[in-house]
Amino acid sequence: MTDTIKNANRLGGKPRIVALERRHIRPIPLSERRGTSRGLFFVWLGINMLPLTVVTGALGPTLFGLSLGWTITAVVIGNVIGGLGAALHASQGPQLGIPQMLQARGQFGYFGGSLLALIALIMFLGFFASNLVVAAQSFAAVFQSDAINTGIIICAVIALAVAIFGYDLVRKMMAVFSIVIGVLVVVSIFVIVSNPITFAEHNELGFNLAGFFGMLAIGVTWQLAYAPYVSDYSRYMPHDGGAKQAFWATYLGLVIGTVLVMVLGALVGLSTADGDAMAALGRLLGGFGPVVLFAFGIASAVMNSSNIYSGVMCSLTVFETLSAKIRIDTAKRVGMTVAYALLAMIGALLGKDNFLVIFGDFVIILLYVLIPWSAVNLVDYFILRKGHYVVDDMFRRDGGRYGRWDSIGLVSYLVGILVQLPFMVTSMYTGPFAEPLGFVDMAWVVGFAVPAVIYGFWKRSAITSGAVR
């Protein structure tokens, strides 16, 4: 797990203990696999107890024109489907004991895996920056201030402080806030449902096929967005029996936490007229609003540390491939953590004014680039290799049996991106097949099925012929 540094001086007979992560991207030894399914459940339950999840749930009424009932239906279906993918990825952690995106070297090669880690790194930057904006909006609504920039900077510093310590502190803080925010979310739902303003006439809202599938796709995306870092936490689970525990702890935590907060967001979206869902939440809650908004702001600042932590895992994976002389240590991890937080903070400061538009496109594009990777990874792990990998080879610069570049994995991934283009539906680009389909976004379905089939048959043929091991 993490090495525990005990200060030799004892105060009052008790040792002073400071926990700093020491394993970084290296395999977690079996003797240090002390993770529990309960702890993992609260990690993934808490990670969605954030203002950003409220904003995402509000997209149903505000962006897609869906009624409350149809928004909730799409949210539930999307998260239930997407959660399966994320949980299947999480079950890989106890078996291999390494971060999620480092495992991509098994499908894409030593250097090819770094390309995928770089894509995931950009994703983590986007989520971290987005969380900074909505956390700052929460504080601004509480203090009735326009100082969004100050809020962004404060929240970035808080998240950075937690992330520097690594896994132990991130996990413990998320567990605490998951309970506190969970209670506040449930109370908030009851308060808002009892507020007559919430259900004032919304004649313009109802059902439309494109909006429904758009919101459903966001639910799928939301869960699959966790796929690139679920093993970062499940790798601390025991090797024997840990895979099943990791699957259910991750699945239940992610789905329950997300659906609960997105339902709150859907209710808030009915009254969000200016694009600021957190301000609308405060208005609907009345005197209880400042308490909830302040708690959300603090929780977002703390839990956002998970985006830095996993983003840095990807950064270190990429960094290690640059030169054989590079050795990953605590100093490099901490330095990368600081640089990463600063970069995301600058992005949040620059994009805060057009946040909803930028975030909506970001989530959709994220789906397009993650789906093919997920398909390739899951087919390789569960169907072709059945979880049997030589982890040591993933740290060799020649890639060992996985090579420097795996053309089968990389071509399958690229095809998965290209086949989605005709079906894409975004504000920046809409594919030619979108209109005949009523602008229902089906790109993600094609983007999963096609690379899964191509990679599965092509890789099996290569293994059978002895071209690859």
**Is residue 20 situated within a structural domain?**
no
**Is residue 148 situated within a structural domain?**
yes
Q: What is the pTM of this model?
A: 0.83
Q: Using an 8 Å Cβ cutoff, are 259 and 81 in contact?
A: no
The domain containing residue 325 runs over which residues? 36-367
**Is residue 344 situated within a structural domain?**
yes
**Is residue 86 situated within a structural domain?**
yes
Q: Using an 8 Å Cβ cutoff, are 218 and 368 in contact?
A: no
Strands (E), 308-409: none
**Is residue 134 situated within a structural domain?**
yes
CATH of the domain at 244: 1.10.4160.10
**Is residue 224 situated within a structural domain?**
yes
Which among 270, 262, 221 is positioned nearest to 426, based on CA atoms?
A: 221
Looking from the CA of 197 toward its CB, the CA atoms found within 13 Å total 13
**Is residue 195 situated within a structural domain?**
yes
- Residue 216 in tokens: 């459903």
- The per-residue pLDDT string of the chain (469 residues; one tens digit each, 9 = 90 and over) reads 334 333 333 333 343 444 565 666 778 888 888 888 988 998 888 888 888 788 889 989 988 889 999 999 999 999 999 999 999 999 999 999 888 888 899 999 999 988 888 888 887 787 788 888 878 877 887 887 777 888 889 888 888 888 887 667 777 777 788 888 889 999 999 999 998 888 876 767 888 888 898 899 889 888 987 888 788 889 889 988 889 999 999 999 999 999 999 999 999 988 876 667 878 888 899 888 889 888 888 888 887 787 777 777 777 887 778 777 777 777 778 888 888 888 888 888 887 776 656 666 666 677 788 889 999 999 999 999 999 999 999 989 899 999 999 999 999 999 999 999 999 887 778 889 888 887 777 888 899 999 999 999 999 999 998 877 7
**Is residue 418 situated within a structural domain?**
no
Q: What are phi and psi of 387, to 5 degrees?
A: 80, 5
What is the count of structural domains for the chain? 1
CA distances from 191 to 119, 130, 415 (A): 41, 27, 48
Q: Using an 8 Å Cβ cutoff, are 176 and 89 in contact?
A: no
